[in-house]
Amino acid sequence: MEQNEVILSVRDLEVQFTLRGQTLTAIRGISLDLLRGESLAIVGESGSGKSVFTKSFMGMLDNNGHVSGGSILYKGQDLAKYTSSAEWRKIRGHEIAMVFQDPMTSLNPLKTVGRQIQEAVELHQGLKGRAARQKTIEYLTDVGIPAPEKRYRQYPHEFSGGMRQRAVIATAMACNPEILICDEPTTALDVTIQAQIIELLRDMQKKYHLTIIYITHDLGVVAKVADRVAVMYAGDIIEIGTSYEIFYHARHPYTWALLSSLPQLGVKGEPLFSIQGTPPNLFKAIEGDAFAPRNPYALKIDYLIRPPYFELSPTHKVRSWLEDPRAPETAPPDTVQRMMARGREAADRV
């Protein structure tokens, strides 16, 4: 993150879905600047809109969803205005590529893995025939698949889960993208394989100068890979900052709650912390802070007016009334405080 060049700029993005005649607002006005070369992690519970948010950069929303407001600026183009698949095809793969959650289903079972990667090579690098095949084998080698010549001719069912995810990553790399979106890239894998895949993604990022967005609810992954972390709740980014800021200086009660649910923080013999209540109904307009009903620190104003962003540092923003000068002093829960303090000490020692 040496240079702070903005590669993708999202402004007031709103995404709506129509379900059985009702309108659901999945993304409620998000603004975000993605910096070239960084790793941004987007965390949040299921249904918070993490996937929908990033899918809107590629025109990959389900048929009943559409961008209903705001803009997505990329290389001088507003992607939010794209409608036809011909327009999107200029972005998909070549500019922004994606790695899906489940490597078991991301590959076509009836085509050899080599052919599927080669498709991307042919489409995005203009290579054909033997040259394309050669390049494909290079990518297979690149992502650490042994015996690439042999693997090229094999079908997905002959690959293990980890190897398939490597093949999926090779496909994404073959598109030669600027931005890579990894939608829960390790969730479906064994723990031991998870670390390898994360390591591979970091290598690829260095080698191909990628900007990576990780979508995950695994804070362990976040800590390993992310330069910056955006915390999403109910279709909104409620806190964003550097990894250090989010893990050791978090200010939003929802971020505290997420950190408290880390199993490492649990006390042996006691039930693991969980956030009470359920996320809000996105079919209805949300008044005030969406997290207020589940928030033990909620103020009266949280139920009435949506909090603005308060800047805690040039990189750290939080959408919470607790940061207002008029709000009472609030400290995070003890366990989180202890973890943060330990983390800060460890970080200071380095």
Partner 1 sequence: MLKYIGKRLLQSLLTLFIIVNVVFFLMRLMPEEGYFGEEYDKMEPAQIEAALEAMGLRDPIPVQLVRYYHQLLHFDFGKSITVRPKVNISRIIQQKAPYSIRFGLASVLLSLVVGIPMGTIMALKKGKAADKIGNGYIVIINAVPAAVYYLFIQLYGSGMFNLDILYNERKAISALLPIISMSLGGTASYAMWTRRYVVDQLNKDYVKFARAKGLSERKITFGHMLRNALVPMAQNLPANILLTISGSIYIESLYSIPGMGNLLLSAISRQDNPLVQALVLIYSSLGIFGLLLGDLLMVVCDPRIKLVRGNEALT
Residues that bind partner 1 (CB under 8 A): 58, 60, 85, 89, 91-94, 97-98, 100, 102, 105-111, 119-120, 123-124, 155, 157, 168, 171-172, 175
Residue number, 102 or 227, with CB nearest to partner 1: 102
**Residue with Cβ nearer partner 1 (118 or 243):** 118
CA nearest 180: which of 206, 203, 212? 212
The residue (of 122 and 239) whose beta carbon lies closer to partner 1 is: 122
Q: How near is the Cβ of 175 to partner 1 at its closest, in Å?
A: 6
CA 55 to CA 314: how far, in whole Å? 27
Instruction: Please check whether residue 221 is in contact with residue 301, taking contact to mean a CB–CB distance below 8 angstroms.
Output: no
Q: Which of 70, 76, 74, 77 is nearest to 30 (CA)?
A: 70
Alpha-carbon gap, residue 77 to 80, rounded angstroms? 9
Smaller CB separation from partner 1, 104 or 340: 104
Minimum CB–partner distance for residue 155 and partner 1 (Å): 4
CB proximity list for 233: less than 8 A, separation 6 or greater:
44, 45, 48, 254, 279, 290, 291
Nearest approach, Cβ of residue 183 and partner 1 (Å): 10
Within a 10 A sphere around the Cβ of 272, how many other Cβ atoms?
11
Cα 137 from Cα 145, distance rounded (Å): 9
Report how far residue 187's alpha carbon sits from residue 62's, in angstroms, rounded to the nearest whole number: 22
Nearest distance, CB of residue 88 and partner 1, angstroms: 8
Q: For residue 92, give the 3-state DSSP assignment.
A: strand
In angstroms, give the least distance from the CB of 113 to partner 1.
11
- Least Å from the CB of residue 106 to partner 1: 4
